[in-house]
Amino acid sequence: MGKVIVVTSGKGGVGKTTTSAAFAAGLAMRGNKTVVIDFDVGLRNLDLVMGCERRVVFDFINVINGDANLNQALIKDKRNDNLFIFPTSQTRDKDALKREGVERVMEELKNQFDYIICDSPAGIEHGAITALYFADSAIIVTNPEVSSVRDSDRIIGILASRSRRAERNESPVDIHLLLTRYSLDRVSKGEMLTVEDVKEILSIPLLGVIPESESVLRASNTGTPVVFDGESPAGHAYLDAVARFLGEQREMRFLKPERKSLFRTLFGRA
């Protein structure tokens, strides 16, 4: 039975789609059959970030409405056999997400996949609520910045009260913090909140810290999840986060400046 993970934030533009793509790819690279679903009806981006925008025939809304079946809409990733993308409609809007239809689709997906990543839209309205409703786990994507932290707090409150698990009084959704666009430089200048600041305000366990990196924009533009870029620090950080999610211990990298010592430069330790 597949596990449903929602990637949400409340705030827009903090890195949900980047994270959904990276996390799904990371899980697939570890041998898990994974699907990543775009819940941002009308403003779809996941297909672009995954590089499959030219292969979209049927979408999530088509399947909900019964115009197509699930297998006609699922797109297999060309880089990894375990990875699938379920795009959404660009022409409709979030009102098209009918709860019963979504539930039916989620049940079908849980039978076929190990992990189902739900890329949530920004906000706290119907689209975001539907994306988080079926979650078993949640990744709260937050930038080290006051508005983002406030909005993340809000969405955590909503997850605690409006998920299906909350409504049915089942064990709560497993919530994790992912700090993205972390800039060591700006933190040391006092321009950005520190990891400790954010942890103190949100009081949820930290899954990972993703450093600000130019490689993310390059990845978006080329339709490649950033974990496929072996030289990207962000990519490495995402792989660490996936490992931690799966229960492994990984030290937090990218929180301390990389001091290039003469010794290392001479003897070439990367």
Q: What residue ranges bind other proteins (CB under 8 A)?
A: 124, 150-151, 153-154, 156-158, 160-161, 201, 203
Least Å from the CB of residue 133 to other proteins:
18
Nearer residue to other proteins within complex by CB, 47 or 151: 151
d(CA 119, CA 112): 18
CA angle 43, 44, 46 (to 5 degrees): 150
State phi, psi for 70 to the nearest 5 degrees: -55, -45
Nearer residue to other proteins within complex by CB, 12 or 31: 12
Least Å from the CB of residue 153 to other proteins:
4
Least Å from the CB of residue 124 to other proteins:
8
Nearer residue to other proteins within complex by CB, 114 or 197: 197
Nearer residue to other proteins within complex by CB, 96 or 131: 131
Least Å from the CB of residue 203 to other proteins:
6
Least Å from the CB of residue 154 to other proteins:
4
Q: In which element (H, E) is residue 6 found?
A: strand 3-8
Contact 117, 20 (CB under 8 A): yes
Angle of the 126-133 helix axis to the 146-162 helix axis, nearest 10: 60
CB-based contacts of 153, cutoff 8 Å, min separation 6: 10, 201, 202
Nearer residue to other proteins within complex by CB, 99 or 150: 150
